[in-house]
Amino acid sequence: MSAQGCVVLLSDYAEASLEPVTVGPADSRLHSQDLVDSAAGVAYREQRKVTAVVDRSGDAAAVGAADGGVPGPAVVVYLPVSVRAERLGVLAVTLPSGHVAEGAMEVLDDVARVLGHVLTGARRYTDRFEMLRRRRELGLAAEIQWELLPGLAFELPAFSIAGTLEPAYEIGGDNFDYAVSAHRLTVSVSDAAGHGLRASLLAGLSCAAMRNARRGNASIVQQAEIANLHLVEQFPGPDFVTGLILDLDVDSGGGTILNAGHPPPLLVRDGAVSELLIPPELPLGLLGSTRYPTHPIALRPGDRLLLLTDGITEAHERGAPEFGYRRLAALLADHRTLAPPELVRHITRAVTESCNGDLSDDATVVCLDWHPPQARAQ
C-alpha cells in the first residue's frame, strides 16, 4: 500500500474543530475541519474508521465505515487517534484509486494506536502540538487549569470516565481530577470562587493539596481537610472552593462521597434521572476547623453518575431562564447511549448554545459510567 498523503488532525481545546499537523508541503485536500460537519468529525465523535471519497474540489464526503475494501477513485480514510478513551484527534490517510492491499486497514489501525501514545508522550517535551490545538490565545488562568487536568477520558472494563471544561480558552476556577488504582477510583470536581487568575490559583492550590494528600494514602476526608487548611492559610478571607470528592470501589460499585458546599451530582439509573442530595458542609478555605463527613454511595451495573459545577445549570442569556437541572436531566435521558467523552462534549455544547456562546461562569461536567464485566456477562 502506498499512501498519497497523510496528516494528523488534532482536536482544538473547545472540541469545535480538527486542526492539521503539517510537516513540509501539506495535502491541500486535508485542512482544518469542523468537528461536527465533516467526515473527520464523524470518525472523532463516533470513534470509528470512516472512508470519504475526494472530489475534484478537494472536499471529502463520508461513505461509511472503512472496515473492508475502500471504494473509490481517490479516498481518504479517517482513523480515530485516542489513548484509553481520551480522544486526541484523527489520522487522515489519502489512498490511491483502486483496491487497498489485504491487511492494510489493520496496519493503519496499528499506526493510529501507536500515534496516540506518541502524542501523549510528546506533551512532556514539546509545545508544538498544544500550540496547534489553540484556535486563539489561551488566557493565563486557562493555561494553569488545563495543566492541572488529568486525561480528559479514561476507561477500564469496570468503568468509563470523561470530563470537560468551558469556556475552554478563558476557564478560571473550575477543575476536575481523578486517580485509578488496582480496585479504587477517586474522582473530584471543584469550583473556586470568583473569576480569572485568582480563582485559578485557588483551584490550583486546592487540586495540588488534594493530590499530594491522596498520593500519601490519605482518605478523601483527609484530602479535603488538608486542602481546607492550606487554603485558609494561603488565602485568608472570603475566598473559597466548593467541591465533591468520591471514593469508589470499582469492583463492587460501593463507596463514599463528601460535599464541600457543592451542587449535587445526578444519577442516571434505568433511564431515570435523579439528584443525589449529599448534605453539604462549608466550602474549602473558609474555616480551618471544618470537618467533612462522608456519605455512602452504591452504584448498580449500568449506572451513570454526573458531577458538575453550577456553571452548567445556571448558564443563561440575559433575561432568559437558566439552563437548569430539569433541562440537563432531559438531555441525559435523551442521550443515555452516548459514551462519556461524547456526552460531556454534547452537554457543554448545549449549555454554551443556550446562552449564545457567552458563558458568565465556568462550566464543568464529569461523567462516570459503572459497567462491571461480571454484570455484562450475566
- The answer to whether residues 91 and 195 belong to one domain is no
Domain count for the chain: 2
Cut 0.85: pTM above it: yes
CATH code of the domain in which 116 resides: 3.30.450.40
Sheet containing strand 86-95, strands side by side: 33-34, 17-21, 5-11, 86-95, 75-83, 50-54, 60-64
- The answer to whether residues 185 and 116 belong to one domain is no
- The answer to whether residues 308 and 238 belong to one domain is yes
Residue pair 308/351 in contact (Cβ under 8 Å)? The answer is no
- The answer to whether residues 195 and 212 belong to one domain is yes
d(CA 311, CA 161): 20
User: Residue 271 has which C-alpha cell?
Assistant: 433511564
Tens-digit pLDDT string for the chain (378 aa): 577 788 999 999 989 999 998 765 545 455 889 998 899 999 999 999 998 876 544 555 554 444 444 444 678 899 999 998 999 999 998 887 655 666 778 888 999 999 999 999 998 899 988 888 888 888 898 899 999 999 999 999 999 999 999 887 888 899 999 999 989 999 999 999 988 899 999 999 999 999 999 999 999 999 999 999 999 999 998 999 999 999 999 999 999 999 999 999 999 999 899 999 999 999 999 999 999 999 999 999 999 999 999 999 988 877 788 899 999 999 999 999 999 999 999 999 999 888 887 787 889 999 999 999 876 655
- The answer to whether residues 219 and 320 belong to one domain is yes
d(CA 275, CA 86): 27
Query: In which domain, by residue range, is 76 found?
Result: 5-132
The residue type at 290: T
- The answer to whether residues 345 and 362 belong to one domain is yes
Asked which of 80, 110, 132 is the last residue of a domain, the reply is 132
- The answer to whether residues 177 and 289 belong to one domain is yes
d(CA 321, CA 100): 54
Distances (CA, A) of 293 to 220, 222, 257: 10, 10, 9
Asked which of 132, 156, 190 is the last residue of a domain, the reply is 132
User: Residue 78 has which C-alpha cell?
Assistant: 479517517
If you write DSSP's letter for every residue of 102-130 in order, what string do you get?
A: TTHHHHHHHHHHHHHHHHHHHTTT-SHHH
Asked which of 132, 155, 181 is the last residue of a domain, the reply is 132
d(CA 179, CA 190): 15
- The answer to whether residues 96 and 175 belong to one domain is no
